[in-house]
């Protein structure tokens, strides 16, 4: 039984374990992506608004140190409410200063810290149970929407083989099996989310989640592709959180999770977070807060630069420019983000446009840089118009 190794599963013990788990995962994620959190880098900052203040060195380091200190305090003290408030405020500020920081793991950790603040803000057992159920609702919704987001042809044909390429190199016959069975993985993942809500199915759901995260760690970790190290601790946190929150909960009905008890604003926020990813299927919500990492369906960008612009770019940026044809080169934003920040590009059109504006600051003519964006497929296969832009204007092409 997945919960057999946890002797004490009271609400307080679950909350204590969860705050230590989330704090450790957040600190590990920040440590594995150090340049993501500072302004001293070549990859452009993308604030929520152009007028938003810029925090340069040493203020950027002070913000990160403040966040780390607050999160460490949350893990260590018995009454962490002030530290939780500080961590939430600093984490939100850091995201406002640069939207690239709104990685799915960081977004989840902030939401769980918010639920823990709800828990520690009241001595009322019913409201405390509601806070823990809000965390359960969040986890179930992550599995469900992550599976739904993968229901597209590109996941089975490209993303899954890419994740498992080390196994494929060792066992070439694995590829056709992955391609065939890969189409069922999104439904299995979404099914874990549904099963976690149902008391009788929670034990097999916990086991399935553990197997899934073990497989992901095998594929991405040192024994696999050694890629995306920033999500290694995230997978460990997810597997442990599912056990801590759902093991031995036959007495917790689905209704208590779907409608967590507590202040109306907290209940509304929990339900909103669980349902709002549906909007990303229609292009009305971002991919990452919609749990679409590794879904194979996102806005994809290409930047083409002339030789004149290449000569003006900083040497550190030139490392990510590759020849496209004799008179034109391509700047690989994805390689740039992975190499410098150790996180994937935040895949939204507004982000691509702001990065284009930053690059255009080096241009001597409007045509020195051209951006093309292939928009993600929407629900039922529809697709918005692709986008082309140079340094002078934005021109929308046909679908």
Residue 89 lies in a domain: no
pLDDT at residue 6 tops 50: no
Q: What's the pLDDT score for residue 179?
A: 60
pLDDT at residue 9 tops 80: no
Band (pLDDT 50/70/90 cuts) for residue 395 is very low
Domain containing residue 26: 11-33+103-290
- Return the structure tokens found at 373: 């964006």
Final residue of a structural domain among 290, 316, 341: 290
Residue 355 lies in a domain: yes
Final residue of a structural domain among 290, 315, 345: 290
Lowest-confidence segment of 10-24, 165-179, 227-241 by average pLDDT: 165-179
**Stretch 95-119: mean pLDDT, rounded?**
97
**Stretch 336-364: mean pLDDT, rounded?**
96
Whether 240 and 281 map to the same domain: the answer is yes
**Stretch 353-361: mean pLDDT, rounded?**
95
Whether 235 and 304 map to the same domain: the answer is no
Residue 123 lies in a domain: yes
CA dihedral 9, 14, 18, 21 (to 10 degrees): -30
Q: What's the pLDDT score for residue 222?
A: 82
Residue 90 lies in a domain: no
Please, what is the average pLDDT of the chain?
91
**Stretch 257-263: mean pLDDT, rounded?**
95
Residue 194 lies in a domain: yes
Q: What's the pLDDT score for residue 255?
A: 97
**Stretch 180-199: mean pLDDT, rounded?**
91
Whether 107 and 185 map to the same domain: the answer is yes
pLDDT at residue 348 tops 90: yes
CB 188 within 8 A of CB 208: yes
Which residues have C-beta within 8 Å of that of residue 289, sequence separation ≥ 6?
Answer: 102, 104, 107, 276, 277, 280
Q: How far is CA 345 from CA 63, 103, 339, 371, in A?
A: 22, 9, 11, 15
Q: What's the pLDDT score for residue 192?
A: 98
Whether 161 and 286 map to the same domain: the answer is yes
H helix runs in 33-173, sequence order: 59-76, 81-97, 104-120, 125-149, 153-154, 160-163, 165-170
Total structural domains in the chain?
2
Q: Bin 382: left if φ > 0, else alpha if -120 < ψ < 50, else beta.
A: beta
Residue 167 lies in a domain: yes
Lowest-confidence segment of 136-140, 195-199, 384-388 by average pLDDT: 384-388
Read off φ and ψ for residue 366, nearest 5 degrees: -55, -30
Whether 113 and 208 map to the same domain: the answer is yes
Q: What's the pLDDT score for residue 172?
A: 62
pLDDT at residue 1 tops 50: no
pLDDT at residue 396 tops 70: no
Lowest-confidence segment of 154-158, 169-173, 297-301, 323-327 by average pLDDT: 169-173
Q: What is the value of pTM for the model shown?
A: 0.92
What DSSP designation does 269 have? H
Report the percentage of the chain scoring pLDDT > 90: 77
Whether 230 and 330 map to the same domain: the answer is no
Q: Where are the beta strands (DSSP E) in the chain?
A: 300-305, 321-325, 328-331, 369-374, 387-390, 394-396
Residue 257 lies in a domain: yes
Residue 97 lies in a domain: no
Whether 194 and 283 map to the same domain: the answer is yes
Most confident residue range from 217-221, 343-347, 374-378: 343-347
């Amino acid at each position: 039984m997945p919960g057999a190794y946890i002797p004490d599963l009271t609400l307080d013990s679950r909350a204590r374990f969860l705050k230590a788990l989330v704090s450790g995962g957040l600190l590990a994620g920040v440590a594995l992506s150090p340049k993501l959190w500072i302004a001293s880098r070549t990859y452009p900052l993308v604030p929520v608004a152009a007028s938003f203040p810029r925090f340069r060195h040493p203020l950027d380091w002070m913000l990160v140190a403040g966040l780390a200190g607050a999160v460490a305090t949350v893990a260590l003290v018995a009454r962490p409410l002030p530290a939780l408030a500080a961590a939430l405020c600093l984490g939100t500020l850091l995201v406002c200063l640069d939207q690239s920081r709104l990685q799915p793991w960081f977004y989840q950790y902030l939401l769980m810290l918010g639920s823990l603040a709800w828990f520690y803000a009241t001595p009322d057992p019913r409201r405390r149970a509601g806070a823990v159920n809000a965390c359960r609702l969040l986890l179930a919704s992550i599995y469900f929407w992550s599976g739904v987001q993968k229901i597209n042809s590109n996941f089975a044909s490209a993303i899954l083989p890419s994740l498992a390429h080390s196994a494929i190199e060792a066992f070439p016959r694995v590829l056709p099996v992955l391609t065939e069975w890969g189409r069922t993985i999104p439904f299995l993942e979404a099914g874990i989310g549904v099963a976690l809500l149902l008391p009788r199915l929670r034990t097999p759901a916990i086991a399935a989640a553990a197997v899934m995260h073990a497989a992901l760690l095998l594929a991405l970790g040192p024994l696999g592709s050694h890629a995306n190290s920033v999500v290694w601790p995230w997978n460990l946190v997810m597997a442990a959180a599912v056990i801590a929150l759902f093991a031995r909960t036959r007495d917790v009905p689905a209704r208590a999770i779907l409608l967590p008890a507590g202040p109306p604003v907290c209940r509304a926020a929990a339900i909103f977070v669980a349902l709002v990813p549906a909007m990303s299927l229609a292009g009305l919500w971002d991919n990452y807060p919609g749990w679409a990492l590794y879904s194979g369906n996102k806005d994809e960008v290409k930047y083409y630069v002339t030789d004149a612009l290449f000569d003006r770019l900083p040497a550190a940026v030139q490392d990510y420019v590759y020849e496209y044809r004799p008179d034109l080169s391509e700047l690989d934003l994805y390689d740039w983000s992975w190499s410098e920040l150790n996180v994937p590009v935040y895949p939204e059109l507004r982000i691509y446009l702001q990065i284009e504006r930053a690059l255009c600051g080096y241009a001597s003519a409007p045509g020195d840089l051209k951006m093309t964006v292939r928009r993600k497929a929407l629900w039922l296969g529809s697709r918005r118009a692709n986008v082309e832009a140079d340094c002078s204007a934005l021109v929308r092409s046909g679908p």
